[in-house]
Amino acid sequence: MKTKKNTQKIVPFLWFDDRAEEAMNFYTSIFPNSKIDFLNKWPEGSPFPSTTVQNGCFTLDGTTFHAFDAGPMFKFNPSISFFVIFETMEEIDSVWEQLIKGGEAMMALDTYPWSERYGWVTDRFGLSWQLMKGKLEDVGQRVTPLLMLSGEQRGNAEQALNQYMSIFGDSSLDGISRYGANGPGPEGLVNHAQFKLEGQTFMVMDNGTEAEMPFNEAVSLYVNCKDQTEVDHLWEALTKNGGSESRCGWLKDRYGVSWQIVPEIVSEKLVNGEPHRVKQLMEALWQMKKLDVSQLVAAYNQ
């Protein structure tokens, strides 16, 4: 299946056990202006059933997501949720009604001091969503990733956003608010901050409770890199001071957030490449930690 090149630099990436296609169909059916961009299944002979998704991409009202099926090792939790802005009661109520089916309310859809309509829900797949009635122009995009730092990392939200803004281009702080004397989190910690990386909006907060909700690979941030120089820069910047390298372009930063640092050629060939050459590229990729553009190109062309 051919598709146009994705222009979103940082893409949320969802790791499912074996329900990625079902989830993609569900999400694109309930959010406005949404569609599946492409969906490829695992080939015969791969580690996963050929009925499951090797590489999927979908768009929810302007925000692109990647998804795949890769087994049950990791489970979604509220450490990364998706904050969605609606401008009418009808819209927010309609989407909430769909997300709550088979899911669970973390905070009921109700009136709160910060919004006349807000709720936090974990859906049937375990993914967390925060829905709020507000002005789209205040955020700039319908769907925004929100990172919540918990446990040993609680208290590091402001440090994290400053580090991310120092690493990525076209970055800025939109606003930050803190817990007051009446909580629920420790006074002075971040209860909500909004910032931009590569022109995209992100949010971050320190957990208001003592609950441990560590980041894991179930939700990662996939970065489309233009060349080896950018791969090297991001890899070094995100792994230093306590981060860790993994395989296949994956890493964890010092806060435990998972990133995939991937040259654009990989994304392009996975979608539009010749199947036997894509297999060669992937076999080379699986042997790497940090991805090497020249070696991947050579593997594809051999």
Domain ranges for the chain, please list them.
80-206, 226-302
State the pLDDT at residue 5: 47
Q: Which pTM was predicted?
A: 0.95
Classify 77 as helix, strand or coil: coil
Q: Which helix (H) or strand (E) holds 283?
A: helix 275-285
Residue range 61-117, pLDDT digits in tens: 999 999 999 999 999 999 999 999 999 999 999 999 999 999 999 999 999 999 999
Q: For residue 169, count other CB atoms closer than 10 A to its CB.
A: 10
Mean pLDDT of 181-193: 94
- Please tell me the distance from the alpha carbon of residue 148 to that of residue 173, in angstroms, as a whole number: 17
Average pLDDT for the chain: 95
- Domain 226-302: CATH superfamily is 2,3-Dihydroxybiphenyl 1,2-Dioxygenase, domain 1 (3.10.180.10)
| 241-266: average pLDDT | 97
Residue 61 near residue 125 (C-beta atoms within 8 A):
no
Contact 231, 212 (CB under 8 A): no
- Give me the CATH topology for the region 80-206: 3.30.720
d(CA 25, CA 23): 5
